[in-house]
Structure 1
Amino acid sequence: MKKLFDNFEEFVGGSLFIGMFIVLVMQIFSRQFLNQPLVWSEELAKLIFIYVGLFGVTACIKDNSHVAIDFFVQKLPPAFQKGIHVFNQVLILATLVTIFIISIRITGRQAPIDIVSLRISYIYMYIALPIFSLLMIFRQIHRNVKEFSIWRKTKSGVM
C-alpha cells in the first residue's frame, strides 16, 4: 500500500500516457490508412495530455525534482540557504492555494459548455486544476514535513 501511495503519480500518469499514445496511434492509422479520421481522438488526447502533465508536475513536487537555478543560493551561507528554501516553499504553497481557489470559480463556469466531439462537459477538462492543485498541496506539505524532520534530526545530531 505504501508503494502505491509513494508512486501513485507515476503509475497513473504513465498509464494515462500509454492511453494517450494508443489514441494518437489510432488516429494516425485511421487517417492515413483508412482515410477516415476519428473526430473524437484529438479532443480525447488533449484531455488526457492535461491530466498526464499535471500528474508529472505533482510527481516533481513530491520528489523535489523541478528545475531550479540555485547558482547564487549555493554561494550563500547554509543558514541563508535554508531561509531561502523555506521562503520558496511557503511561496509555492501560497501559489498552489491561490490556484485552487481561482480554479474552483473557473471550473464552475465550464459546466454548461460541452466538448462537442466527445459529448461531455468541459468540466472534465477544467476539474483537473482544482483536483491536482489539492494533490500538489498535499505532496508539498508532505515533502516539507519530511524535510523539516530531517533538519531537526541533523541539528540535534541524531542523523
Structure 2
Amino acid sequence: MRALYYSLKVLGQINRATLLFCKYVTIFLVATITIVVCAGVYWRYVLNNSLAWTEETAKFLMVWMVFIGIPIALKTGGHAAIDALPNALPERGRQFLYTAIYLVILLLMAVLIYQGWGFALNARTQNTATTQISMMYVFGAMPFGGVIMFFVSLELFIKAIVGIFTPSDGVHLDEIDMAKASPE
C-alpha cells in the first residue's frame, strides 16, 4: 500500500508540473488563435486582401489546444459526466467504478499514443496546403496529448485503487471546486 501512496505522490508532482505547463500553453494557443483569426478577418474584409494561411493555422493550433487541454479537464473533473450511477453506489463501489473507468481510459490512451505516433510518422512526407509544414507536426498532437492524458489517468487510476481500501483517499469528483481546480 505504501508503494501505491508513493507512486501517487510522484505522479501527482509530475502531473501538477505538466498540467501547469499545459495550462499556459493552452492560454497561449487561445490567444494566438484569436490573433490569427482576427488578422484573417481584418485582411479579408477591411483590406480586401485575404491571407491564405490564417484559416489553416487557426485550425491546426486548435487541434493542439484540444489535445493539450483534455488532460486538464480530466484532472479537474471538467468533462461532461453522468453521475447518477456513481452517486447511487456506496463509497467503495464508487471507487471500483472509477477504477474501471480509468482503466478503460488508460487502455484507450495507449491505443491513441500508438496509433497517433504511427499516424504522425506516416504523415511526415505530407505538407499542409498553404503553410507547407509537415503534417507530422499537426498529427503529433495526438501522441503528445495522449501521453499526458495517460499519466493523468494513471494517477487517477491509482487513486481509485487506493480509494477501494481507504475510501477517504480515493477519487472524489463531486468535491472538486471548478473555480479552484487550476493545476497550480
Give the direction of change, closer, same or farther, for the CA distance of 1:74–1:146 in structure 2 (3 Å limit).
closer
How far the C-alpha of 1:153 sits from its partner, in A, is 5.8
Identity level (%): 21
Deviation by residue 1:12-49 (Cα, 9 ceiling, x = unmatched): 10111100100000000000011010001111101100
Q: 2:41 aligns with which of 28, 31, 56?
A: 28
TM-score with structure 1 setting the length: 0.86
- Give the equivalent residue in structure 2 for 1:103: 116
CA distance in 2, matches of 1:153, 1:76: 16
- Give the equivalent residue in structure 2 for 1:43: 56
- Runs of at least 5 residues in structure 1 that lack an aligned partner in the other structure: none
Q: For 2:125, what is the secondary structure of its paired residue?
A: coil
- Give the equivalent residue in structure 1 for 2:79: 66
Structure 2 residue 132 is the aligned partner of structure 1 residue 119: yes
State the one-letter code of the partner of 2:57: L
CA distance in 1, matches of 2:164, 2:97: 15
Give the direction of change, closer, same or farther, for the CA distance of 1:84–1:152 in structure 2 (3 Å limit).
closer
- Highest RCO, 1 vs 2 (Cα 8 Å, sep ≥ 6): 2
How far the C-alpha of 1:82 sits from its partner, in A, is 1.4
Deviation by residue 1:42-100 (Cα, 9 ceiling, x = unmatched): 11101100011112211112223222102123112222211111111111111110111
How large is the RMSD of aligned CA atoms in angstroms? 2.3
TM-score with structure 2 setting the length: 0.75
CA distance in 1, matches of 2:36, 2:163: 44
Give the direction of change, closer, same or farther, for the CA distance of 1:88–1:102 in structure 2 (3 Å limit).
same
State the one-letter code of the partner of 1:129: M
How far the C-alpha of 1:118 sits from its partner, in A, is 0.4
CA distance in 1, matches of 2:80, 2:36: 30
Structure 2 residue 145 is the aligned partner of structure 1 residue 132: yes
Deviation by residue 1:101-157 (Cα, 9 ceiling, x = unmatched): 11122112111111021011111110110111011112222344455557766569x
- Runs of at least 5 residues in structure 2 that lack an aligned partner in the other structure: 1-12, 170-184
- Give the equivalent residue in structure 2 for 1:89: 102
